Each structure stands twice: as C-alpha cells, then as structure tokens.
Amino acid sequence: MEDHDDGDIIEHHVEEEMEKRGARSHAASSSSFPESVTPSDGEGHSGTQSSHRLLAYSDALISIIATVMILPVAHTKVEDNEELRESVQLLLTTKIAVYLMTFLIVTMAWAAHIKLFQVIVRIDDCLALLNLACMMLITFLPYTFSLMATFPENVLGILLFCGCVMVIGVIQAVIVLYAFSRPFLLNEQIQISENRTIYKHHILKVIMRVPLMCFFASIFSFIFFQLSYLLLAIVIFLPYISQSLKWCRSKAMGPVDESPDSMLFYTYLPSEPLSKERVEAFSDGVYAIVATLLILDICEDNVPDPLTVQKQFGGSLIAALQVYGPEYLAYFGSFATVGLLWFVHHSLFLHVTKTTRFMGLLNSFSLAFVGGLPLAYQLTHEFPHNSRNELEAIQISCVIIFFAGIFQLAIWVVALYNEQETLHPYVRYGGREHVFMLAKLALYPCIALGTFFLTCILSKFSAPIFHLMEITVPFAFLVLRLLVRVGLALLRLMFCPERPDLRSVVEEEDDDSRVQFNALVT
C-alpha cells in the first residue's frame, strides 16, 4: 500500500457509495461471467470494472511468455556434418531443460494468478495498474531463469530470480490488501462471509510463502548455493508433489476425509480449483503463438535478397524460391498439426465442465510439448534428404507430437475417473459421443507412434513425406465419424448377429443400444 495513498484518499467516497449499493452489486456478481461480458448498468462507473478483459490479457501475456522460450532452442544451429544425436543430447541437457522448466515456472505463476483473481472478481484502475506491474515482472522471469541456467555457479542469477519472485509476491500482497480494503471488489462468497479477516490472513500467508522461501534461498546463495537450488526446486514443485502424493494416497488407502482448511491451503475456492475459461484462454494463447512462430521464421529468413537472386539464379525468382520448397511444406504440415491439436483440445474442453488441478497439470505438460513443435519444424527441414539426421529429426517430431497428444488423452482419462463432476453427459462412459471422442483423442498418438515405427522400418522415409502426412491428417478427422460408426457397427455385427441391418443401426442413433453395446464390450 506504499505508493498510492493518493488513491486511498480520493477513492474513499467511492467505496462508501458502493457499499450503499451493496445488495445490488452482490446480486450482479453472483454469476460472474455473463455479467463480465456485457457490462451491466452499475459498472464502468465509480471506477470499478469487471475483470474479464484484464484476465484475458494476462492469460495472453503469460501463455506467450511461456512458449517463446522455445525460440532459443529452435534457433540453435545444428551443424550438418556432425551427428544430430550428439547435438541433440547437448541441446537436451541445457536448452530444452531450460525451456521445460521455464514453462513450468510460468505456469505456476499463472496458477497463482488464477487463484488470486478467483478471490478478486472486480477491478478498478489501481488494481489494473498493479496487475500490469505484476505482469511486467512475470515476463522478466524467463530471462532471469536463463541467466541462472547459463551461469549455474554464479550467485547473481539466483539473486535476480529470487528478487523478481519476491517483488511479484509483494505486489500480489498489495493487491490483496487493496482489494480487502474495498470489499465490493471481492468474490461474493468472501464479501458476505463474517470472517473476512481470517480469509485475508490466510490468502496473504499462502501468497507470501513463495517469496519467503525465495528470500531464504537468496540468503543461502551466499553461503552454500546448492542449497538455494534445492529450496527453489521445492518452491516450484511443492504444489505438484503434494497434489500427486495426495492422489496416490487416496488411491491406495481410499478417499481421505479432507477438512475444508486443508483444501483451502491450495485453492481459495474448493469447488472450482482452476477456472475453465482461463485454462482455455491460456491454451489458446500457446497454440496461437506456436502456429505463428513458424510463419515468423519463414517471413524473416525466406525472402531472398534481390541481389542473390540476380547473381545465383539468373534473376529467376521461381528457382530461388524452389530452394525454400521444403520449408513451405514443413510450415503447412506443422500448422496443420498445431491447428488439429488445438481442434482436439477444443473438442475435449467443450465437454469438460470443471477443470481439476491434476487435469490442469496434464494440460500444462501437453502444452509444453506443443510449444516444442517449432523445434520439430526447424529440425525437419534443415537436413539433406535421405540422411540419418533427417530420419532422426522426424523421430523427434513424432515423439513431440505423441506426447502432446497422449497428455490430451490423459486429461480425458483423468476426467472419466470423476465423470459425474467433470464431464458432460454425452462423453461420459456410455454416452453418445464417448467412442467418437476417444477416437479423436487417440488419433494423433496413434499416427505419431505409427510414423515413428515406419521410420525405423523404411529407410526411404523422408521429411517431405512426413509433412505431406501431416497435411492429410485433417481428412482423417473428417472421415473419423464415419470410421467410428462403421467400426462400431461391425463390432455390433460380430457380437449381436441378431441385428444384421447395418444401415439401420448406423442411422438409429439411440442411446440405449449404445449403452447396451458398451456394457457388452466390457
């Protein structure tokens, strides 16, 4: 609250006025989303606004920042004469690890941001500016982290990283204090609660945990810097570790009766741990920036110099562009892959009604691999035909696509474990769209796995063929519904020979027979 005492004075009367209108604003903020899109009469005035667009902008910033760290990896020049395997191992040990860690760190910061703005549902100018300051430091985190990775034995990297995290923590604490001093900005549930002070202290405690550990880490860095790394690793993975431990324990010993306090420890709103809209917005941002990083490289590198065209190709632009042929093909192939992975993600989240923390974690893993696609694009078009490097580049691409797809499938499998809460009835086990959704989600992992083994068997497999395959996958999605229907009908024909009319079975489309059939298969 240091630097906006002016704001305190001048906006004091606003608060009083708003509290008079309390009952009305309670009613308005109970369903936070529709109201946030079409501003009601009461808002926009007296300085409070819905937080919808601020959150969308934050999501866009954070998703781009999480993803662009792949560029230093993708732009690493791999020498053509040395073996790809060695250079990739060099990459793997440093840059890819940095990319994945940065992605996780930024995702953590994003999850903290979600939690914060589940408590604060309305904003005013001051909060918007504080949030922008917070964003500025979050976008600076990847840089401090790459410094830390490049100079692991230098204290400065740790200090800069910890400094950023601490300042972010302080800004978030200021945001919380500011919001609690103006209760009309808060979530309705907390607004009407009697023990608002307890909430405030609890939230402040949760927020300050990470900066405090960073403070200790920065002190230890002067004494014994390995200890600081240990502390930082604990900070980053603490929620994930505790979450997975809890999950394992609940699987091993049956559901534990959790006190509401222990739930509150990681999420302020136990009923909805991650906001579905924000998960979608974050994912959209990652998919969009990955798709455009590809064309960005083409626009920067593949416009030939007029002088070169004149000298080397006798003024023939077509001849000059033919050199770039494989890159265009690689671009269209990669765009098709990114687009379709988005499409599968879109179809999946259309049927997801609630996102649990574990689903969010799997989604982050999937997105981290999607962010690796520019690397795949870079590798596949950069080697000469029929070299061993080319085959290995294709295999790396297959591995990236496989993991991106398999984690999407995993989200659905996890959602099915608790389908009453997390899934729409149509895709639940036995639902009308269940098998079709499974086919959609399984398509990419299957294709990637198949291609991987093809490259092991066929030595003639080349990057252009791979990219052509990528471009033809959309047609597979178009005929997928037909294939699923025919497959189901054939299965039904095998198991229920008393209903031989395939055409009528396909057109019948009644839930009962589908459920019956599913029961039969298991």
Measure the CA–CA gap between 397 and 402, rounded to whole angstroms. Answer: 8
Task: Please tell me the distance from the alpha carbon of residue 121 to that of residue 52, in angstroms, as a whole number.
Answer: 9
Q: Segment near a copy of itself (CB under 8 A), from 43-51, 183-191, 228-236, 239-247?
A: 43-51
Handedness of CA 409, 415, 420, 421 (dihedral sign): negative
User: How much of the chain is in helix, strand and coil states, percent to nearest 5?
Assistant: 80, 0, 20
289 binds a copy of itself (CB under 8 A): yes
76 touching a copy of itself, by CB under 8 A: no
Candidate ranges 1-9, 362-370, 381-389, 441-449; the one touching a copy of itself (CB under 8 A): 1-9
User: Do the Cβ atoms of 178 and 127 come closer than 8 Å?
Assistant: yes
Q: Write down the least CB distance from residue 239 to a copy of itself, Å.
A: 25
Residue 430 interacting with a copy of itself (CB under 8 A) = no
**Does residue 44 touch a copy of itself according to CB under 8 A?**
yes
Per-position x/- string for 464-503, each x denoting binding to a copy of itself as judged by CB under 8 A, each - no binding: ----------xx-xxx-xx--x------------------
Token pair of 400, please? Answer: 């990236």
Length of the chain: 522
Measured from the CB atom, the residue of 280 and 419 that comes closer to a copy of itself is: 280
Which residues, 6+ apart, have CB-to-CB distance to 258 below 8 Å? none
Q: Which of residues 171-200 bind a copy of itself (CB under 8 A)?
A: none
Number of residues that bind a copy of itself (CB under 8 A): 103
Residue from 121, 214, 329, 336 binding a copy of itself (CB under 8 A) = 336
CA–CA dist 195, 203 (Å, integer): 13
In the complex, least distance from residue 391 CB atom to a copy of itself, rounded to whole angstroms = 27
Least spacing, CB of residue 42 vs a copy of itself, in Å: 11
From the list 71-79, 83-91, 112-120, 368-376, the region that binds a copy of itself by CB under 8 A is 71-79
Site residues (CB under 8 A) for a copy of itself, limited to 218-247: none
The residue among 253 and 478 lying less far from a copy of itself, judged by its C-beta, is 478
Query: Would you give the binding string for a copy of itself spanning residues 45-64, x where CB under 8 A is met?
Result: xxx-x---xx-xx--xx--x
- 362 scored as a contact of a copy of itself (CB under 8 A): no
SS (H, E, C) 376-429: HHHHHCCCCCCCHHHHHHHHHHHHHHHHHHHHHHHHHHHHHHCHHHHECHHHCC
Contact residue for a copy of itself among 92, 296, 458, 468 (CB under 8 A): 296
**168 or 203: whose CB is closer to a copy of itself?**
168
SS3 120: strand
The distance from CA 477 to its chain's CA centroid, rounded to whole angstroms, is: 23
Q: Does 261 bind a copy of itself (CB under 8 A)?
A: no
Encode 98-118 in three state secondary structure.
Answer: HHHHHHHHHHHHHHHHHHHHH
Considering the complex, what minimum distance in angstroms separates the CB of residue 207 from a copy of itself? 22
Report the Cα 15 to chain-centroid distance in Å. Answer: 37
